[in-house]
């Protein structure tokens, strides 16, 4: 990948800061999205033993340590040239499904859902989980809390620790699953399925049956015709843990499918002089600026993207909902698969379908006789010196790439984290929101912040590992600048 060194002074700085630049006519010329970047992760890791990475990388981020832990052990499987036993792979997946259930649940009810459940025009102070409780009732919050607790219990049981889990080792898993544990997890998986179906029903009743919300979901404000990326299994179905990376073009045709180890041949990073963020794009299409369309290499990797790249879902009920979503939004089947949905707000619906898939797949794994096999580890006997591990993190495709010397001491570490994939699409969504609300120098102040925040929220950017955390909820600052670069208006909302 090409690297360009840029004087940091020329870059804009700030936490969650958005700069909107207007042209001479007072229309939006460009929008810039700023987050500070963390320094020194590669230096922190180089010189350490490769086998320490699963417990180092899961400390990068307090939100998705499970995703980092699994991408890391998969990279180590390859670096040490060892294939884990089937039971170990299933235990890893079982834990990962429990994680997906908690993560997607929390996002929908606490972060994304309030826009719909409380209403997009409700005052910001009410557009949160407390507003959801006031509208839907206390029971919903109890269900969310219970769902989190029971799945955290599974993560702790399988991972050895609730936070900073430690179960993954190169060549397998450090502990097998007892029959008693399996039974308990089976019960939890069944409760998760009920909860996922309940959540989809709630989405149906509150959003799809409300013409105003449906109009919002299908309005053109967040429509971007980009490429999409996601992992798929051998039958081109969504897979969170393993598979090939599939990219489809904006018309839904498969553009490329490659093993994760070939990411460097397929993805490049674009650098802008005003930010430390790097914008990944599809190498063979090229960087054409912040524009969508088939000639622009911008792609998205999100719950909606994963569904867009897949032919179907691997579990029956999730597949019914998958088909219903595409049919409802008028997507036609071409060559046996649905054309992609480009309306970004549909990501919330896709997330709930993934929640159901995770719950169903959790039950499949929990009732699989192999999952209690004591054979969970193959001891590594050699060092190949290079390993690339990839999983679907809730916020996009996550890749860990390690290289080591012949003692297993790290010489190189690179990561492409889920959120990074979505920097360019997020910029597109922010620009579109700004264009809708600013014309000829006239700013519709009401709703500007929320329209921009809704764009953020649907991607649920996890900046703690991509760049790093912002304090509390995002303390968003939006500066509007005229053609001379002077600030003409500032909007802010502290979390």
Partner 1 sequence: MKTIIIGLGNPILRDDSVGPRAVRLIKERLGREMPEGIGTDVKPDFKADDGADVKVSEIYAGGIRLLDEMSGYDRAFIIDSIVTGETPGTIYRLTADDLPQSRNSGSIHDMTLPMALGMGRMLGMRLPEEILIWAIEAKDVDSFGEELSEEVEKSLPLVVNSVLGSLS
Q: Give the per-residue contact string, 63-102, with partner 1 (x = CB under 8 A; - = no).
A: x-x-------------------------------------
Question: Which one of the spans 197-205, 352-360, 385-393, 462-470 is the region binding partner 1 (CB under 8 A)?
Answer: 462-470
Cβ 38 to partner 1, closest distance in Å?
6
Region from 54-62, 238-246, 445-453, 485-493 binding partner 1, contact rule CB under 8 A:
54-62
Sorted by sequence, the CB contacts under 8 Å of residue 98 that are 6+ apart come out as: 151, 152, 154, 155, 158, 185, 188, 362
Choose between 467 and 479: whose C-beta lies nearer to partner 1: 467
C-alpha 230/C-alpha 21 separation (Å) is 33
φ, ψ for residue 154 (rounded to 5)?
-65, -45
Residue of 49, 145, 409, 487 that binds partner 1 (CB under 8 A): 145
CB of 202 to partner 1, least distance (A): 18
Looking at residue 262, the DSSP 8-state letter turns out to be: G
Q: Which of 48, 135, 190, 468 binds partner 1 (CB under 8 A)?
A: 468
Per DSSP, 167 falls in state: -
Residue 163, interface with partner 1 (CB under 8 A)?
Answer: yes
* Residue 374 interacting with partner 1 (CB under 8 A): no
In angstroms, the CA 478 to CA 481 distance is 10
Element of type H or E holding 152: helix 138-159
Q: How far is the CB of 239 from partner 1 (least distance, A)?
A: 24
Minimum gap (Å) between residue 35 Cβ and partner 1: 11
Among 11, 135, 152, 225, which residue interacts with partner 1 (rule: CB under 8 A)?
Answer: 152
318, 120, 125, 292: which is closest to 238 by C-alpha?
318
Going by their DSSP bridges, the two strands 17-22 and 438-439 should be labelled as unpaired
Q: Is 149 in the site for partner 1 (CB under 8 A)?
A: yes
* Site for partner 1 contains 329 (CB under 8 A): no
- We find the least distance from the C-beta atom of residue 138 to partner 1, in angstroms, to be 6
Applying CB under 8 A, does 245 fall inside the site for partner 1?
A: no
The residue ranges of DSSP E strands in 222-294, in sequence order, are: 227-232, 244-248, 254-258, 267-271, 278-282
List C-alpha distances in Å: 314 to 8, 189, 242, 318, 449: 47, 16, 13, 8, 38
56 binds partner 1 (CB under 8 A): yes
Rg of the chain on CA atoms, in Å: 22
Q: Confirm or reject binding of residue 480 to partner 1 (CB under 8 A).
A: no
For helices 179-203 and 138-159, give the axis angle rounded to 10 degrees.
Answer: 150
Which span sits near partner 1 by CB under 8 A: 164-172, 214-222, 266-274, 318-326?
A: 164-172
Instruction: For the segment 98-137, give every residue that binds partner 1 (CB under 8 A).
Output: 106-107, 110-111, 128-130, 133
What is the number of alpha carbons within 13 Å of residue 265 lying toward its C-beta? 8
Distance from C-alpha of 135 to C-alpha of 121, rounded to nearest angstrom = 14
Identify whether the C-beta of residue 139 lies closer than 8 Å to the C-beta of residue 53: no
Binding flag, residue 460, partner 1 (CB under 8 A): yes
Stretch that binds partner 1, among 53-61, 242-250, 305-313, 330-338 (CB under 8 A): 53-61
- Per DSSP, 238 falls in state B
What are the residues binding partner 1 (CB under 8 A)?
36-41, 43-44, 55-56, 59-63, 65, 106-107, 110-111, 128-130, 133, 138, 141-142, 145, 148-149, 152, 156, 161-166, 460, 462-464, 468-475, 494-495
């Amino acid at each position: 990948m090409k690297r360009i060194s840029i004087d940091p002074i020329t870059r804009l700085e700030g936490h969650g800061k958005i700069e909107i630049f207007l042209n001479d006519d007072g229309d939006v010329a460009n929008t810039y999205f700023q987050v500070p970047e963390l320094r020194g992760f590669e230096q922190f890791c180089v010189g350490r033993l490769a086998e320490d990475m699963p417990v180092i990388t899961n400390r990068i981020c307090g939100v998705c340590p499970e995703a980092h832990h699994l991408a890391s052990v998969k990279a180590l499987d390859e670096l040490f040239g060892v294939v884990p036993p089937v039971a170990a792979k299933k235990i890893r997946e079982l834990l990962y499904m429990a994680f997906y259930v908690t993560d997607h649940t929390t996002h929908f009810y606490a972060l994304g859902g309030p826009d719909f459940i409380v209403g997009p025009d409700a005052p910001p102070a009410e557009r949160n989980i407390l507003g959801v409780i006031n509208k839907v009732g206390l029971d919903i919050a109890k269900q969310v809390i219970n769902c989190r607790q029971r799945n955290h219990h599974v993560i702790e049981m399988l991972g050895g620790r609730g936070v900073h889990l430690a179960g993954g080792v190169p060549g397998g898993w450090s502990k097998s699953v007892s029959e008693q544990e399996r039974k308990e997890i089976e019960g939890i998986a069944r409760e998760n399925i009920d909860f996922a179906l309940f959540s989809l029903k709630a989405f149906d009743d509150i959003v799809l049956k409300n013409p105003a919300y449906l109009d919002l979901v299908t309005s053109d404000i967040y429509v971007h015709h980009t490429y999409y990326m996601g992992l798929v299994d051998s039958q081109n179905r969504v897979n969170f843990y393993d598979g090939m990376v599939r990219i489809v073009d904006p018309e839904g045709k498969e553009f490329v499918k490659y093993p994760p180890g070939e990411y460097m041949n397929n993805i490049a990073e674009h650098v802008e002089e005003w930010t430390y963020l790097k914008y990944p794009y599809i190498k063979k299409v090229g960087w054409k600026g912040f524009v969508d369309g088939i000639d622009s290499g911008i792609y998205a990797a999100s719950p909606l993207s994963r569904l867009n790249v897949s032919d179907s879902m691997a579990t029956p009920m999730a597949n019914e909902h998958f088909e219903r979503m595409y049919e409802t939004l008028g997507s036609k089947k071409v060559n046996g698969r649905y054309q992609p949905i480009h309306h970004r707000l549909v990501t919330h619906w896709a997330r709930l379908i993934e929640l159901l898939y995770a719950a169903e797949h959790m039950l499949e794994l929990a009732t699989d006789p192999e999952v209690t096999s004591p054979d969970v580890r193959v001891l590594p006997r050699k060092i190949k010196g290079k390993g690339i591990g990839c999983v679907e993190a809730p916020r996009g495709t996550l890749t860990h790439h390690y290289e080591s010397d012949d003692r297993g001491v790290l010489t190189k570490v690179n990561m492409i984290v889920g959120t990074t994939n979505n920097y360019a699409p997020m910029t597109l969504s922010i620009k579109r929101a700004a264009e809708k609300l600013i014309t000829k120098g006239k700013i519709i102040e009401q709703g500007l912040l929320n329209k921009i925040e809704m764009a953020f929220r649907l991607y649920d950017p996890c900046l703690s590992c991509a760049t790093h955390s912002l304090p509390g909820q995002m303390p968003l600052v939006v500066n509007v600048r005229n053609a001379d670069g002077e600030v003409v208006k500032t909007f802010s909302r502290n979390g």
